[in-house]
Structure formats: structure tokens, C-alpha cells
Amino acid sequence: MTNIPLYLAPLAGYSDQAFRRLCKDWKVDYLVSEMVSADGLIRDQDKTLTYVTFSEEERPYSVQIFGSDPLVMAKAAAALLPFRPDFIDINMGCPVRKVVKRGAGSALMKDPALAAKIVRQVKSAIPDSVPLSVKFRSGWDLNSLNYLDFGLRMQDAGADLLCLHARTSSQVFSGLSNWEHIQILKQALSIPLIGNGDIDSPETAAKMLKDTSCDAIMIGRGALGRPWLFTQIKQFLKEGYYQPITKDQILSTALTHLDYALLYKEEYVVVREMRSQLCHYAKGMPGSKELREKINHSSSVDELRQHLRHWLLH
């Protein structure tokens, strides 16, 4: 249990290169890209390509693709190979309307035969040295909890690894995820299973492992503004306790986050995109409301730095 692999969840709008690199500093094991459209990939659009770019320090690294046409998905997976991803992941869990209405993301849970076809075609387009994973949910809604049958079908179709976010698509992010689904699927599979949903502390990470016996865990929202969570989880699983984070560490991590963002993006983009990221560092802490106001009205990275320093050191 002590060496359980930790994944940063794909988080569209958040898990860009800067945040991934920061999580790597805090000892995450595996990184996944934000979801990338298979259609966009084969049309070679510049914007799409920025999503699949990663640096060597990010390895082992996985690119996640979404789409609903098996041929397009296979072509997109093949188009990723020159980037040399360590894994390729297929998104079958996204509940967002514009994805679902194209038959992609969690809509595929309503059509397991098509989902299996996608896995077979993608698998045949990539070498065995690049494992294929599928990330999905418990079902479309509470009346169609098909995660067990669906997971087994993805395994039969050739998936090497699965990840279950134990909520239905129609729940989106409401309610609590049902970890029993992870435990039941784990029992039935012969390939590894990553458990995902609502891990936000070392204690909940340990509980997920104990309750489900899953092979790895994936953390999304819990890591936003708290990339040190990965280090704390590792320490807790190994030693039974973890170092609380200090104010100085919070400040230096948020400042490093800004520095990393500037390595990859223009300052005006960084100022806009880092607003929501930085607010996560302050969440639930004294002065967070005032800081959020100031961050939202900042127009340069220097201003952002000053507000962070003022917030944490005064």
C-alpha cells in the first residue's frame, strides 16, 4: 500500500504544463493531459497541439483524447505517437453538454458496443509499448449503473488499465462518489484499476485504498491550490502521519506556479488563467474573499505576486 501510484486527474482549464510540473515537484507519479479532441488532433490545429505538448520531466505522461468515431479516434491516437506519450487515455466520462451531444465522453456509456469498438481500433493503431487506458463513470444515471459490465467490456476490447470516477454522468459533480463501485469493479477485473472521486486529504486517500483495494488513485479537485497533497499522501501511507503545510510553503508554491506559467504562456494569458488557480490556494483560509477580489482585478503578474505576499505574510 505504501508505493501506490498517485495520478493527477485530467482537469480541463487547470492541468496545463505549469500545474503538472508543480505537482511533479510535489511527487505525483503520473500526469494526464487535459482532454484533447480527436477531431482537432487529426486536423492538426495549433491550439490542439499545445494540449499534447509536454516536457521530459513530466514523464510518465498520458494524453487523453475524446471523440465518438472509432476511425477518427484511431487516427488521433496514431497522430500522438510522434510526441512519444507513455500512455494514451480515452475519455468516456465527461458529462459536459458540448462533448456528450457529439456522442463522446460519458455518452459512450450508453453505447458500450461503440465504446468497445473505439478501444479495439485505437489499440490496433498504437504499439503495445504504449498502454491504453479508459476513464469512465459509474453509468449514465442512477437507473443505468453499468460500470461493471462496461469496465469488463473495455478490458475485453483491449484496454490495459481503467479509471473509474464513481459518479454517474447526470450527477456531474454533485453528491458523493460511491466507492463501492470501485471495489466491485476491482474484484472483477484482471487489469489494474485507478480509483477516482472525492479524495481531498491523506486520510481519504488511505480510506479509498482500504475500502476498494484499487491499484492506484487519481486526484483532481483536491489538488487544486494544494499540489503538496501528493507528498502528504505519500508520507501518510508510509509513516502514518504527514507534515502540515506552512504559510511560507503555500506562498512559495503559489509563486512558483506563477513562474512556471510564465515559462509556457504570455503574461496576459497567465494573468487571466491564473486567477482561478490562485483563488484555490486561498480557499477556506482567512482573507480569501479579499484576496479573490484583488486577484480578479490584477492586470500583471507582479501585482498577483504582491497580493499573494500581502495575503500570506500580513
Ligand X SMILES: Cc1cc2nc3c(=O)[nH]c(=O)nc-3n(C[C@H](O)[C@H](O)[C@H](O)COP(=O)(O)O)c2cc1C
Strand pairing report for 36-37 and 87-92: unpaired
Question: Closest residue (Cβ) to ligand X?
Answer: 220
Q: Say which residues have a Cβ less than 8 Å from residue 31's Cβ, sequence separation at least 6.
A: 7, 8, 15, 20, 23, 24, 54, 58, 60, 61, 62
- 5 binding ligand X? (CB under 6 A): no
Residue in 4, 7, 10, 121 binding ligand X, rule: CB under 6 A: 10
Contacts of 143 (CB under 8 A, 6+ apart): none
Report residue 288 as a C-alpha cell.
Answer: 480569501
Catalytic position from the list 94, 163, 214, 279: 94
Which residue stretch of 3-11, 122-130, 144-152, 289-297 sits at the interface with ligand X (rule: CB under 6 A)? Answer: 3-11
Site string for ligand X, 203-232 (x = CB under 6 A): ----------------xxxx----------
Q: From residue 9, give the alpha-carbon distance in Å to each of 23, 195, 309.
A: 11, 11, 29
Site string for ligand X, 249-268 (x = CB under 6 A): --------------------
Distance of alpha carbon 113 from alpha carbon 132, whole angstroms: 18
**16 forms part of the interface with ligand X (CB under 6 A):** no
Interacting positions 122-151 with ligand X (CB under 6 A) = 135
Is 158 or 222 the residue whose CB approaches ligand X more closely? 222
Q: Rule CB under 6 A: is residue 20 a binding residue for ligand X?
A: no
Q: Rule CB under 6 A: is residue 93 a binding residue for ligand X? A: yes
Complex with ligand X: residue 179 or 311, whichever CB lies closer? 179
Site for ligand X in 165-194 (CB under 6 A): 165
CB of residue 7 vs ligand X: minimum separation in angstroms? 9
- In the annotation, is 94 catalytic? yes
Nearer to ligand X, 91 or 121 (CB): 91
**Does 9 help bind ligand X (rule: CB under 6 A)?**
yes
Q: Which of the residues are catalytic?
A: 94
**Contact residues for ligand X (CB under 6 A)?**
9-14, 34-35, 64, 91, 93-94, 135, 165, 196-199, 219-222
